[in-house]
Structure 1
Amino acid sequence: MAAQLEKAYPGAAASLREGMEETVTVIRLGIPELLLGALRSTNAIESAHEKVRMASRNVKRWQNGEQVLRWAAAGFLEAEKKFRTVKGFRQIPLLIDALHKCLHPQPQQEETSITA
């Protein structure tokens, strides 16, 4: 699909390629569909980044890195006002459990047979 989009929509093709591994990982965790829908989209992140761009668009001369961080923080605080509840937020404990199991898999016990 990314190859098909490449010529007409290079940005969309790049986004698709960039998010493929994360999307597959989120699906593999087996979390419920409602929460899955919220997590497999980057819209919330892109929206927050747009607010940062809007907050800092009139700055013509950056003095230092700390100023950049302050403006970014101001933009994210502005974006936070527009955040709504994540659909499926009640299922987040299931996500936490799935992540914990993924990070700390239980060692499989070997079957031992006792013969007399």
Structure 2
Amino acid sequence: MGLLPIPIHTGNGNSRPAQRLNPRLAADRLEAGGEGRQVEDRAVRAWMEKQHPDAAGSLREGLGEMFTVSEIGLTPALRRCLGTTDLLDNVHSGMRRRTGRVTRWRDGSMAVRWAAAAFLEAEKSHRRIMGYKDLRILEAHLDELATPQVDGKEIAA
């Protein structure tokens, strides 16, 4: 309950305005889990709905995936990098920058060619992600999910 906005009272009886909820601290607290998670989860949702309705909508859409990244057991650096959509946003903004002024698309194949060329051009400016050395943890988890199992035993495909 430490993240709920509460008024701060001074010794002389005057009160200062209520503390603002810090979204970064709230996200960290939610990610950590624990027994107060549902209470704080509701508090963060209510605060987001009131202060940032668009962000609250995005949060509702990806809430399950948001906690999945933290439950896989990734390192903090990799979790920080993969827990956001920054990677995708960067690629898409590079594509928009390279194709944004094209107004006369002749056909679908032209759009596909330009998109491929834009992605290849954007690839030149890509850097390694934080925690790239720990991608083996993610790979092992994804391999485990891809292997069909019945009652905890692997079945041959």
TM-score, shorter chain, exceeding 0.5: yes
Correspondence for 1:92: 135
Correspondence for 2:151: 107
Correspondence for 2:92: 49
Correspondence for 2:118: 75
In structure 2, what is the Cα distance between the partners aligned to 1:107 and 1:61? 56
* TM norm structure 1: 0.76
In structure 2, what is the Cα distance between the partners aligned to 1:108 and 1:29? 18
Give 3-state SS (helix, strand or coil) of 2:143's partner: helix
CA RMSD of aligned residues (A): 2.1
- The structural deviation recorded for 1:20 is 2.1
In structure 2, what is the Cα distance between the partners aligned to 1:106 and 1:15? 35
Unaligned runs of 5+ in 2: 1-44
Residue 3 of structure 2 corresponds to residue 3 of structure 1: no
In structure 2, what is the Cα distance between the partners aligned to 1:13 and 1:75? 32
- The structural deviation recorded for 1:76 is 1.1
Name whichever structure is richer in strand by fraction: 2
In structure 2, what is the Cα distance between the partners aligned to 1:36 and 1:43? 13
> Structure 1 residue runs of 4+, over 3 Å off?
12-15, 102-109
**What is the identity, as a one-letter code, of the residue corresponding to 2:134?**
Q
- The structural deviation recorded for 1:99 is 2.1
* TM norm structure 2: 0.59
| Identical amino acids, percent of aligned pairs | 33
Return the structure number with greater relative CO, CA threshold 8 A, min gap 6.
1
**What is the identity, as a one-letter code, of the residue corresponding to 2:103?**
K
- The structural deviation recorded for 1:42 is 0.7
Unaligned runs of 5+ in 1: 110-116
- The structural deviation recorded for 1:91 is 0.6
Task: Determine if contact 1:31/1:98 at 8 Å carries over to the other structure.
Answer: no
